[in-house]
Structure 1
């Protein structure tokens, strides 16, 4: 039976820990885990271990360092040690997404320490350096990587370790990837700061379609407006307004691709007060109009079918 973490669907506590302590079995050199969503470690968190993360089902917002993007089934990433990250899906009260994630976590120093006996492991060093910014994989690499992650849950011991090395080789040698976080992103990684960031990000994700005001969110964080603005920029890599805009445009993209809701209605549903501002923000972000985005999404869906 695969190792699965379950949690009830109660709201994540406001004091959820930001540092994830990872324990690997004495008989294993890395951790493989199947996670339901949500559970208590689904927060803006960091750890010294590297994490290879596969989203098996659902969609949502991915936060890696100062990167904000969207994910769907098959989204495969690696996040280097010390880089804060989170994958957020909007769920209804009481909803549980079983087996949403496969998580693989490993200590890079174990690999480096073993390179004296296994010199081939030194070839991974450039890959480990790239991963410190977070990487997302696409194309055949994402498909093959996802298949390996799935098969690893069916085996143990040397068979699983062989697949682990095969996965590392696949991800280290491909050119089908994009870097996520900016090279100069350097958040404050103390527990108090990360807790404030987590609470702020959770609040913004839950209320981005409303008339959000910086002073209101600053007050929730217990800070002055100017202090919170600097703090938020430092620890997320985005200004408050840019972060809210990215969340609104992410939701707009989902509605454009998945529904027939009129574009004017989508504009107001995601939090914009007028269609001109919405069209201008969408064009700036996606280099096309909302109507063009919807048309392209339909064309891609037809091609897949």
Structure 2
């Protein structure tokens, strides 16, 4: 998928940035940041795309997104709500890593930051607690503001109901722990750039300098599905985004996402979304 890089303006004299956004609808196409992002969506229903993971948004939907990870957020146009409320926190990778390196108490947060390369979702209870901490944060003196951020980090660490959006693989004999994230990122980049082509497991294995059997194990452990299943989901998720945000003919969308014929696309799409592409577009089309 293609995404735009959004620059986050830094607050002068502050190590992090917080913004509360209220608007009638949410319609944020694919974008990414150089910073870590914590986002809490409240008082509306919608759809959230993070990487190639798709989930429904309900009140107090809270996620941690790593630097460079594409994501998109849409509210349900047909729902009746007063406004869409989002609380967003950004902080730089270099800054938080320096804090962890110099503060032993923050070491547990390192694991969450590692998992954030795929996205993490937190419990609604944690989301509500974080929103309460943020209620008057911008009116507080700088020392209290940074203290509040560390309190928020402690809540994320303590959340026993948080969930990685994609399970990380465990090391195999061919892949060392230090190279796991590199292989995963390289795989995601390759698939995001080539999903519309007729690519094979062998081509990916050659790209990663791995054997086909090792790539199969990587998909089973990390993505919990086969290469072909994962590639199909990528194509269908991109098709969902195009149906939702463009007026392109379905025949052109099929071509753009790499399906070989319309009958196969319609069959796979309905199995995945439980509706036809036409019905999906009619129910989610944004104005």
Name the TM tier (shorter chain). Answer: 0.5 to 0.7
**Partner of residue 15 from structure 2, selected from 1, 12, 29:** 29
Does the C-alpha gap of structure 1 residues 63 and 199 become closer, same or farther in structure 2, counting only changes over 3 Å? Answer: closer
Q: Deviations over 1:259-284 (max 9, x none)?
A: xxxxxxxx99945xxxxxxxxxxxxx
Q: Which residue does 1:50 correspond to in 2?
A: 36
> Is it true that 1:87 corresponds to 2:48 in the alignment?
no
1:229-248 correspondence runs (5 A): 246-247=272-273
Residues 1:243 and 1:44: Cα distance change in structure 2 (over 3 Å): farther
Matched, 1:169 2:171: no
Matches of 1:158 and 1:36, distance apart in 2: 27
Q: How many residues align?
A: 216
Correspondence for 2:62 among 63, 69, 76 = 76
What residue in structure 2 maps to residue 205 of structure 1? 244
Q: 1:60 aligns with which of 46, 51, 55?
A: 46
Q: For 2:68 and 2:61, how far apart are their aligned partners in 1?
A: 21
What CA distance in whole angstroms lies between the structure 2 residues aligned with 1:148 and 1:243?
A: 42
Runs of 5+ in structure 2 lacking a partner?
A: 169-183, 197-235, 281-287
TM-score norm. by structure 1 comes to 0.57
Output the CA distance in 2 between the equivalents of 1:40 and 1:176.
26
Q: Are the structure 2 counterparts of residues 19 and 207 from structure 1 closer, same or farther at C-alpha, using a change threshold of 3 Å? A: closer
Per-residue deviation at 1:171?
A: 0.3
Pairwise CA RMSD: 4.1
CA distance in 2, matches of 1:246, 1:207: 20
1:20·1:41 contact (CA, 8 Å) conserved in 2? no
Which runs of 5 or more structure 1 residues have no equivalent in the other structure?
Answer: 1-15, 227-238, 250-266, 272-305
SS of structure 2 residue aligned to 1:101: strand
Residue 73 and residue 115 in structure 1: after superposition, are their counterparts in 2 closer, same or farther (change >3 A)? closer
Q: CA deviation at 1:110?
A: 0.5
Q: Distance in 1 between matches of 2:145 and 2:98?
A: 20
Q: Shift of the alpha carbon at 1:115?
A: 3.7
Give TM-score scaled by structure 2 length.
0.60
Deviation track 1:161-195 (CA, whole Å, cap 9, x = no partner) reads 111100111102221111113544613678xx9xx
Maintained 8 Å contact 2:269/2:277? no
State the match for 1:187 in structure 2.
Answer: 189
